[in-house]
Amino acid sequence: MPVLDTLGRPVRDLRISVTDRCNFRCVYCMPKEIYGRGYRFLERRELLTFEEIERLSRVFASLGVEKIRLTGGEPLLRRELEHLVELLGAIPGVDLTLTTNGSLLPQKARLLAEAGLRRVTVSLDSLDDRVFRAMNDVDVPVERVLAGIEAAAAAGLSPVKVNMVVKRGVNEDSVLPMARYFRGSGHILRFIEYMDVGHTNGWRLDDVVAAHEIVAAIDAELPVEPIEANYPGEVARRYRYSDGSGEIGVIASVTEPFCGACTRARLSAEGKLYTCLFATKGHDLRTLLRGGASDGELGQAIGAVWRARGDRYSELRSAATADLPKIEMSYIGG
């Protein structure tokens, strides 16, 4: 029997943060004024080991998880990540993928593919080098990420999904150039509404470019038409170009919440289970792991957390939710 939460949602997707560190300082995620030289990141002993991650992943799979996504921070900063990919790739019936900023993919893509990774999602917020450097705030050029996307495709990690967070007054002018560039490439471009994750990004509703605005802007030049979701609970609304030259997606978590179909659990780098991207607290699984709990006991603990889950933050978003002590996105992945 599937494990269902209080709203009847099964646990189908597991996002695993393998590190809280990142080599970018994107202004909407890890602003430099907060995550500067003095910021305390997790120490190595606090991180789950690859073997602990594998064990928890197998328990989650026994509860119904069918897809695992490795995240961060920037997951490719975790040394020998390909070893973890090899371990997780051996779990029957689980689709394994990874989200990255792409800067390290030229060196890592083939190793990851050979270890068993199937696909990657790459974050890229503009093709304008000046805008992109300002947004990542560490002066990384666009060319490095584009090289990572091509390295991933050459290694067979395709179709590559490219995620663009759109923030008004910052990079909305990059929407059409991105659509033009990736149309016909075989990659899938997805536009994400700027979200109020955590407390360090200074989120305001006025900064959100709504998904319908994005689709309308693209459709005016490159006609698109809606298509069916790939699977129940898919977060992106899909559109294909009318001339058959590919597809795009929009993730409208602010203006058109999809909480009712959310099947995602999140595991932080030090082993806390979060039941929502906007969660205010996590549930400690590392202590259970290192305290000698059996797989059955781990499954019971995870199942109990999920069955009590009633999260639907995006449907409730209001002035009353603005000051909730939400977890930062860099801590539990996107």
pLDDT at residue 195, as a whole number: 75
Residue 157, judged by CB atoms within 10 A of its CB (0-12, 13-18, 19+), counts as: buried
pLDDT at residue 151, as a whole number: 98
Q: Residue 82: in which H helix or E strand, if any?
A: helix 81-89
pLDDT at residue 207, as a whole number: 87
Q: pLDDT averaged over consecutive 10-residue blocks of the chain (334 residues)?
A: 92 96 89 89 96 98 97 96 98 97 98 97 97 95 98 97 94 97 98 72 75 97 95 86 97 81 93 88 96 98 96 62 62 70
Q: Give the whole-angstrom CA distance, residue 229 versus residue 59.
A: 28
DSSP, res 272: E
pLDDT at residue 232, as a whole number: 73
Cβ atoms of 64 and 3 within 8 Å: the answer is yes
pLDDT at residue 315, as a whole number: 60
| Tokens 């663009």 found at | 164
